[in-house]
Amino acid sequence: MKPSAHISRLAPLALSVTVLAMLSAPLAAAPDNLPGAGLASVTYGPYLRAELGMATTDITDGSWQPHGYPTDPQVNFDLSGQDGGFGAVAIGFDWMNGYRFDLGVAFSESMNVTGPCASASDGSDCASHADITSASLNTNALMGSLYYSPLEAAGKNTTFNPFVVVGLGLANNKVGDWTRTNDSLVTGVNRSFEGDSSTSLAYSVGFGASWQLTRPGQWPVILEASYRYYNFGTAQGGSTPIDGGESPVTPLKFDVENQVVSIGVRVPLQRM
């Protein structure tokens, strides 16, 4: 893995921690006459949450090991995916002490994944190796998310609440049929393999803010806007050839990351 990949994965965590540090102290010391202070309805108890947004996808650490590996080298790919829609639904519990937790299912829009050879493990030139010219990816995840709202934790009863969030769960990454193309060969240019699904540990960090839209005494409806980084683990295609030939030692595999900006609605399920 390149050092830049480590940096890119740590950046969202560092950003979320920085946001928390910047918000916690001044918000905790904020006066009680903040905009919306004293106007928030009681939201203690279970709730439903739904969100829709756009995901920027980062595909990293793409590689495969051919049938002849290790005599034949591992080939690493510079893969890219498509940005697309993102959605999630969750059920949770709000303790109204700064903390709430929910368990949700997240869905990413299906996308194509392609990319050229980037390097080979034996240092040979990419001109003699194949590129990934066709593959698809579909990801969904089951994730528990813990939210912390510093204003609420400080006892400020406001309709506006910034928050930070961390999540942990499992992702199912489904890779469709995939094709490698070697333009350096006169024959046998394309080889295609069946797809496969794999389950990986997934995690998320992020921050956002909520705004209670309804008046005191009405059933609370809360609008949320957030940024979240998701690491959905490793996706791996199948190793069964579609058009004959040998199976690879390790089929196409790659890591999946999303950066999501979304708008959501949270509705408490009980009135206090």
Among candidates 214, 232, 231, 215, which has minimal Cα distance to 223?
214
CA dist 176 and 169 (Å) reads: 23
100: three-class secondary structure by DSSP: strand
- Residues pairing with 145 in the sheet: 102, 167
Where in the sequence is the domain holding 203, given as residue range(s)?
3-268
One digit per residue, the tens of pLDDT, for the chain of length 272 reads 444 444 455 566 555 555 555 555 555 555 555 555 557 788 999 999 999 999 999 999 999 999 999 999 999 999 999 999 999 999 999 999 999 999 999 999 999 999 999 999 999 999 889 999 999 999 999 999 999 999 999 988 889 999 999 999 999 999 999 999 987 755 557 899 999 999 999 999 999 999 999 988 888 999 999 999 999 999 999 999 998 889 999 999 999 999 999 999 999 998 76
* Residue 7, φ and ψ in degrees, nearest 5: -65, -45
pLDDT of residue 26: 56
pLDDT of residue 7: 46
CA dist 130 and 54 (Å) reads: 32
* CATH (domain of 103): 2.40.160.20
pLDDT of residue 239: 97
The structural domain count of the chain equals 1
CA angle 10, 152, 221 (to 5 degrees): 95
CA dist 89 and 182 (Å) reads: 42
pLDDT of residue 124: 94
pLDDT of residue 236: 98
pLDDT of residue 35: 54
pLDDT of residue 10: 55
